Structure 1
Amino acid sequence: MSGEHMQIGEVAARTELSLRTIRHYEDSGLVMPSARSQGGFRLYTEADVARLMVIRRMKPLGFSLDEMRALLDATDRLDSGDELSSKDREELLHRVRGCEQAAQQRVGDLRAQLARAEEFAAALAARLTR
């Protein structure tokens, strides 16, 4: 589908995000439709869908909109093909590394929380079989 535009309904189906959520991310400046149809409908590209998928993956890990924006800005600049000074490039990579470390920490926290929940469910199941 490269080069083709999708309307918001198709993007919502592909990303498993609601129309309202996609519009909220637009209002927050996290993702902007690449174009608008003559009728004013939002039109998105594969790159826009990929951006929404990054946001979708960050949300359950508890990243704030500002943290999402900072990561997306860093990756946009790194992927832009623009000439970056070594200092700017290192600063952007540092931002991405920080986000990766935060994600790893949050994944570990979620694993621990899941283990406690599984222990609790098992204890309840054991009680029912007594």
Structure 2
Amino acid sequence: MQIGRVAERTGLSLRTIRYYGEVGLVEPSARSRGGFRLYTESDVDRLLLIKQMKPLDFSLEETRELLGVLDRLSADDLTEHDRAALNARLDIFDEAITARCDALREQLARAAEFQGLLRAQRTRRGVRA
């Protein structure tokens, strides 16, 4: 599929998709005769994974590393040792995701508390929300 369709499917801008290609995260699987970027379902899945990592503040290097681990795990010629090492790396990413989600929950709770305090102040002063 062409980049415009990929942008619609992923909710990412054309510029962002092109940027991810420039930095080597998701390169188009092919080009049309006219030079248009062509993407596969696998490319779309990869973009959606990157999109999920972004709000958790993963760096480009961390994102690249995770994608590399996932790519290597799909290889047919992995030894058990290599597979175990890659799965251990995924466990580390899982722990990082959990920690970042916990931090976001805490931040959201503080924001909700602040909102409640502000609304209480407005109510005491007779100002409607």
| TM-score, structure 1 as length reference | 0.92
Check if 1:95 corresponds to 2:79: no
Cα displacement string for residues 99-124 of structure 1 (whole angstroms, at most 9, x for unaligned residues): 11100000000000000001111111
Quick one: distance in 2 between partners of 1:120 and 1:62? Answer: 24
Partner of 1:12: 7
Q: Please state how far the C-alpha of 1:86 moved relative to its aligned partner.
A: 1.6
Equivalent of residue 22 in structure 1, options 14, 17, 20: 17
Structure 2 residues not aligned, in runs of 5+ = 125-129
Partner of 1:52: 47
Higher relative contact order (CA 8 A, sep 6+): 1
Structure 1 residues not aligned, in runs of 5+ = 1-5
Between the two proteins, the alignment pairs up a number of residues equal to 124
| TM-score, structure 2 as length reference | 0.93
Secondary structure of the residue aligned to 1:33 is coil
Quick one: distance in 2 between partners of 1:91 and 1:31? Answer: 24
Quick one: distance in 2 between partners of 1:104 and 1:121? Answer: 26
1:1-130 map, 5 Å: 6-80=1-75, 82-130=76-124
Identity across matched positions, percent = 58
Q: Please state how far the C-alpha of 1:91 moved relative to its aligned partner.
A: 1.3
Larger radius of gyration: 2
Cα displacement string for residues 16-46 of structure 1 (whole angstroms, at most 9, x for unaligned residues): 1111111111111100101111111101111
